[in-house]
Every structure is written in C-alpha cells, then in structure tokens.
Structure 1
Amino acid sequence: MTPQPPTGGKFAFLVHPRSDVAADMGRVWRPLGRIPARAWESGLRHLPVPPLRLATVHRRDTGTHEPDGWIIVVPATPRQLLTEKRPWVLGRVESAIDRAEALGASIVGLGALTAPATRAGRMLRERPGMTVTTGNAFTAHLTVEGLRRLSAAASGSHLAIVGATGSVGSCVVRLLADEPIGSDLTLVSRGGQRLEDLAAEVRGRGVAVRTSTSMDAVRDADVVLVLTSATDALLGSQHLKHGALVLDDTQPRNTDPRLREERPDVLVIDGGVAAIPGIHIRGDIGLPRGLAYACLCETMLMSFDGQAASATGEASIGHARRMRDAARRFAHLGFTLADPLSFGHRATWPAPAGASAAAVAVHRA
C-alpha cells in the first residue's frame, strides 16, 4: 500500500493502573511490578509521581518512524480517581495532559476512569488548540456491534444494560432505540430522573423497557451488557440465568473473575475491543498485539481524520456515527470489532441460535 500522509495532528491517550496496580506499573518498567500494591496506593497518594509514558503508537501506512501518538499513565489507582478529593484527581489528570502537550499532542483521549473522574472531561481547564475526547462514542458503536453478535446466539430476546444512564450506556440505548436487537429491554442504574427520562425516550418503538436500581434485575436476561464504573457493582454468578451471554465493557472490569470457573454455562466477552492490524503499539497495554480498546481507537480516528471539535460530556448518536464513518475511511488500518476475548483469554463468538450441534462454536479457546 502506498504510504498516506497523516491528515490530523498527533494524539495522546490517558490510562491509569487498574485493580492490580503492581502488574500494570510493571508494564511501564518491569522493576516497578515488584513494589507491593499497598505501597503503590500510599506512594501514588503522597509522592509527586509524574505521569509516565507507557507506549508509542505508529501507523503502518505512513512510512515514517515518528510516532503518531503516545499512551500516558496517570499516576492514580481506580479507587483514588473515584474517591479522592476533586482537586487532587484533576491535578493528576491535568499533569498528564501537560505531558501530552509537551510531547506535541493536539488531541487527548480520556481512557478508563479518567473520563468519569473529570465528569466526561467537562471539569478540565480549557486549552487553546487542544481537542479532548472521552472515546465513548466509538465505544458505543462497537458495543452495539458486539451486542448484535451475542443477541443472534441468545436463547431469548431479553437484553439488560447495567450502567444504562452513563455516557456510553445512554448512547448505546439510543442507538438500539433506532435499530432494536431484542423485544425486551431492562435498564439498570443508580436511579433518579435520568433513568426514567431515558426509558421514556425509547418506549413506544416496539421495545418493552423496564427500569431498576438493582443488579438483581438482570437475572432473567439472556444478554447482559455491563457499563458501570462503580467499584461496588460486581456482576457475579448469583445475578445470571443459565446460559446467559455477557458483554463487559468496563475497565477495570465489573464482572467477577470467578465466573470463569463457577459458571461454565455463561460466556463473558470483554467488550469494547477493536482489531487494528495496521497500527503498531510499541508497549504493553494489556491486550494481545493488533488489538486496542475502542476509546483509544476513537482518539486515533479523530487524530487521523483531522477532527478538531472536542467530544466531552455525554456521548451522542451523531458523534458515534461520525466515528463509525471515520472507521470505514481508515478500514485499511482496522478499527473493526475484534475476535473476542474472555477475561483476557482468546474466545469465539457463540453460534447463532438454531445452529446445528456440529456448528456450535466452543466458547473458550
């Protein structure tokens, strides 16, 4: 393929250590993985740990050796991002954006909990010439693609969405309202008027909508989508019917790892992962090579496509469709729904409902 010059600026994507802080910090520099988790929690809170560069990102079609973007670690744990005082949290995120600017980035993506911790970027200070995105719109688009694959194999048509009123969740619900994939929809969130307003918005389009504030409401669901960023909301064996199919879009994940052993009848797919064979990430982001999270992909797409309008706040259907279209323009690099992983292990999509026994795919590799 003839090298194609980039059309936009360089980008940076922000991440942070997940539940296993030592293991994730060891991806930056192996000796850091030897520091106990308790020491990391205290050290990140009290010491002036700077943002760290985890990886560089390179397009394979440009013929240049210069990076197109960087992945930067915000020095804070998931618990700290959600529970520490706002000035401390914002200071950590802003310092990472300072690092991104110094590297030459003009687009910054807010990965994992850096988006909810900054109210989807709305609490960050204005920076002339800097575009910010949560990455939630392309995540919503890719999530709907994954739900279609799972729903085709489900034994019934009941879909439950946990975290329905969040930025990704509300966009997914609205996308599904336009093109339903089931006849029975349950929306689960912490409650309040937002939940009822969202349900009212999508009722009357041929889909029965129920609402709940309890995780127990998913017990009858054939397909469950998990989108909540709450650290105390963990989907476990007790919440799932026999043969349920689960798409977990959360980072850190909100499905109990014990499900893999306790419930062999249940398939859990790691959501929001795209195939990017035309992109080379030099560094360990916790995924097999050739794969990336959808929020990182949105940051790349906005950079490659030269999009300068920030995408903060609640993800919109309009932006999700713009990202879908951008992915098609850069299809030679990938940006398609990846072959599935389950708790980080290779898996296969389940066979469509009604397939012969000989055609049924094995759930786990």
Structure 2
Amino acid sequence: MTETAPSPDTAPAARRFAFLVHPRAQVATDMARIWRPLGLIPDSAWGWGLRNLPVPPITLANVHRADTDAGPAGSVIVVPVGARQMLAENRRWVVGRIEAAIDRAEALGAEIVGLGALTAPASGAGRMLRERPGIAMTTGNAFTAYLTVEAIRRLLPAARGGHIAIIGATGSVGTCVVRLLADEPIGTDLTLIARNERRLDILAAEFAERGTGVSVRATTSMDAVRDADLVVVLTSATDAVLRSEHLRPGAIVLDDTQPRNTDPALMTERPDVLVVDGGVAAVPGIRIRGDIGLPRGLAYACLCETMLMAFSGNAADAVDAVGQASVDHALRMRDAARRFAHLGFTLADPLSFGRPTHWPDAVAVEQAA
C-alpha cells in the first residue's frame, strides 16, 4: 500500500524545531559554510577566538517543507565551540555555550531542539541541560540507530561470513543498534567493542539471553576488528579511531560518526576496503537553505529525528529523547518516517567520505578478498 501525506484537516499541528551543530575538526572549513571569508582564518586562531571572544550562536540554515508554504519549519544553529573543545574544555563552559544556542532556538520559536554531533555527549546526552517548559529535546540517536540497522541490512549480504563488529557498542546509538539487532538478528557473529568492560559484558549478556542464534563476544581491544567482515563505527571522538591496520582484506566499514572517526588515508592505503558514510537519509521533500556539508536532498539521521518529532505533532513523539536512545523511540521514529514518506526519511544512496559510491555486491567483495 502506498503511503500518502496526512490530510491537513486531520493531521496534528507541526511544531517548529531547531537543530544544533558545531564546527568539526577543521574549524575554518565549517565556518566558511556560514560566510566564505571565515575559512581564511587559521584553525589556531579559531581555537583561541571561540574560547575567549563572545561569539554568539549563528543560524547556519533554515529548513522548509515542500508540502507546505507555511515558511521555515526549523533552523540549524551553530554552537560556536570546536569539536576538540567540545570534549576537552571545561564542561561548564561548553554546556553554557550549548545553553546559549538553545536560548536562540527558543527565541526563534522552537518547540523541539535536536542536539547534533558532539553537543549530545558533551552535555551528558542532554541530561546536563536545564529543563525548559514547552521545549522537548532529542539527541537524534534513536532514528540514527534505526537507519544504521537498515544500512547493515543493505551491506551485510556483501560481507563475506556475516561477522559484524560494532565499535562504540555501549554508547547511546550503539546500545540501541545492538538491541534492535537482538529483535531482528543479522549475520552469524557479533563482536561488541567499547572501553567500559562492565557495560560491555552486561550488553553482550542481554543480547545472548535473547537466543538469537548469533554468536556474540565483548572486548575492549581494537584487535578484534581484524576478524570482521562489516565494521560499524559508533564512537564519539574528535579524531580517527579506525585505521588501515585494523581491517581485514575486503572489509566494509560503516562510519556513523560526526566528526568522522575513520581515517581518510584509508582511501589510498586500502583500496580493497569500502567505507560507507552512515547516518544519512534521503529527504527529497525537504529544502535546506544553507550548507550543512551534505549534497542537496540529504540530511543526517539525527537532524531527521528532530524534524520527525516536530512534524508529527503527536504528543507521544514530542517527548524528551535524551539519555540512552531507546528501542521504543527508534520504532516510533520509524513509524513517523513512514507517515512522512512523501518527504523522504529513507536510507540514502551511499556516500564514501562525502562522495557518491555504490552498494557493494557479493562478487566484488569476494574478488577483493
């Protein structure tokens, strides 16, 4: 059955949203998206300036729906904190900058606020932020987890042997991905990798108790990645954690991080390895007027979750989604995406380091191996 747009007479009223982003590892490159001359300022100067000058939050883009002429549905707002500062600077200072961006969102009339990139881990998955009556917040991690599982389904038939390794398995997205996989198993082997051994063991035991038939192991060592056919990267770091020496011949990598945690050197060092950019949705019915670093018609899954919570208008979809991403919320966002399928919200055609690529096939993978 073909999904249709909700009738204007029966659909709940949409809410306005705001989505928070920040400059990534190359600060000047991202600031140039706001105003090109800003890209001429060295990163070292940006580091000092963002820390010591009263740089306000900046609107990077406005978001419009193709199915309505009601004006902007929401905005993308830049938190003036670099990626390394997000995780290394005084936490109170960082949270204060995030709060200032939410103040701007509130002034713009936002009722749903999404915490993009490292604003979520830097604020304790949103739990360190003050409550604001009339505003619901989300990390966007639930829909990200759902789209990650969809990408795994698309990639796994090409992955010889069906061994999946998840790096960052105990994080918000990682835990939700593992629990979604426990409900609908994929592959024959699953390796969970993270730094917290206790949380790893609990998550692995939870998965094993489901009796999925998938062999599961937990480890804190990156060496375990070398056995995997498909490596899923779900970490929160400012630099690459996955490099060429970690990967077996013909491996496939799904990097679902912003800023990305795979080394661009993989493109030249390991031509046998395919790296697919994860967490990207096709949204042909959404017009983003501004440069968010993706081709037109695409959006990050965390931004999509923010939009879906706003567009839905349903009270159940517009509650705070901070802290650990839940399977229940991921499924609510899946259902919301289906209701708004006329705007998109489906898994995008694959990109690799921002460039179009193709879904692999089993023959090509076998030849690479």
TM-score, structure 1 normalization: 0.95
- 1:85-127 deviation digits (Å, cap 9, x = unpaired): 1110110100000000001101000000000001110010010
Q: Equivalent of 2:265, from 253, 258, 265?
A: 258
Moved more, 306-315 or 111-120: 306-315
Distance, in Å, in 1 between the alignment partners of 2:42 and 2:189 is: 46
Distance, in Å, in 1 between the alignment partners of 2:5 and 2:246 is: 51
Distance, in Å, in 2 between the alignment partners of 1:78 and 1:355 is: 36
Indicate the RMSD between aligned Cα atoms, in angstroms.
1.8
CA contact (8 A) 2:240 2:263 kept: no
Counterpart in 2 of 1:198?
203
Q: Equivalent of 1:207, from 214, 217, 229?
A: 214
Distance, in Å, in 2 between the alignment partners of 1:2 and 1:253 is: 34
One-letter amino acid of the counterpart of residue 92, structure 1 = R
- 1:190-222 deviation digits (Å, cap 9, x = unpaired): 023111100000013211111111222100100
Fraction of identical pairs, as percent: 71
Counterpart in 2 of 1:116?
121
Deviation at 1:70, TM superposition (A): 0.1
Distance, in Å, in 2 between the alignment partners of 1:230 and 1:271 is: 16
Distance, in Å, in 2 between the alignment partners of 1:20 and 1:355 is: 34
Structure 1 runs of 4+ aligned residues shifted over 6 Å read 1-4
CA contact (8 A) 2:20 2:114 kept: yes
CA contact (8 A) 1:69 1:105 kept: yes
Distance, in Å, in 2 between the alignment partners of 1:35 and 1:355 is: 44
Alignment of 1:289-308 (within 5 A): 289-306=296-313, 307-308=317-318
Residue 263 and residue 11 in structure 1: after superposition, are their counterparts in 2 closer, same or farther (change >3 A)?
same
CA contact (8 A) 2:34 2:60 kept: yes
Q: Equivalent of 1:346, from 337, 353, 356?
A: 356
CA contact (8 A) 1:57 1:280 kept: yes
Q: Equivalent of 1:336, from 343, 346, 349?
A: 346
Residue 165 and residue 2 in structure 1: after superposition, are their counterparts in 2 closer, same or farther (change >3 A)?
closer
Q: Equivalent of 2:281, from 247, 254, 274?
A: 274
Counterpart in 1 of 2:294?
287
Alignment of 1:345-364 (within 5 A): 345-351=355-361, 353=362
Deviation at 1:15, TM superposition (A): 0.3
Distance, in Å, in 1 between the alignment partners of 2:143 and 2:241 is: 24
CA contact (8 A) 1:4 1:61 kept: no
One-letter amino acid of the counterpart of residue 255, structure 2 = D
For structure 1, the 5+ residue unaligned runs are none
Deviation at 1:356, TM superposition (A): 11
Deviation at 1:155, TM superposition (A): 1.1
CA contact (8 A) 1:162 1:225 kept: yes
Residue 233 and residue 213 in structure 1: after superposition, are their counterparts in 2 closer, same or farther (change >3 A)?
farther
CA contact (8 A) 2:136 2:318 kept: yes
Alignment of 1:158-169 (within 5 A): 158-169=163-174
- 1:316-335 deviation digits (Å, cap 9, x = unpaired): 00000000000000000000
CA contact (8 A) 2:204 2:218 kept: yes
Residue 14 and residue 4 in structure 1: after superposition, are their counterparts in 2 closer, same or farther (change >3 A)?
farther
CA contact (8 A) 1:3 1:61 kept: no
Distance, in Å, in 1 between the alignment partners of 2:20 and 2:138 is: 11
Counterpart in 1 of 2:177?
172
Residue 20 and residue 356 in structure 1: after superposition, are their counterparts in 2 closer, same or farther (change >3 A)?
closer
Distance, in Å, in 1 between the alignment partners of 2:273 and 2:363 is: 18
Deviation at 1:157, TM superposition (A): 1.1
Distance, in Å, in 2 between the alignment partners of 1:324 and 1:289 is: 22
One-letter amino acid of the counterpart of residue 334, structure 1 = G
Distance, in Å, in 2 between the alignment partners of 1:355 and 1:265 is: 10
Residue 55 and residue 356 in structure 1: after superposition, are their counterparts in 2 closer, same or farther (change >3 A)?
closer
One-letter amino acid of the counterpart of residue 236, structure 1 = R
Distance, in Å, in 2 between the alignment partners of 1:156 and 1:127 is: 49
- 1:15-72 deviation digits (Å, cap 9, x = unpaired): 00011110100001111111111000110011111000000000000123x1000000
Counterpart in 2 of 1:35?
41
One-letter amino acid of the counterpart of residue 20, structure 1 = Q
Q: State the SS of the aligned residue for 1:174.
A: helix
Q: State the SS of the aligned residue for 1:17.
A: coil
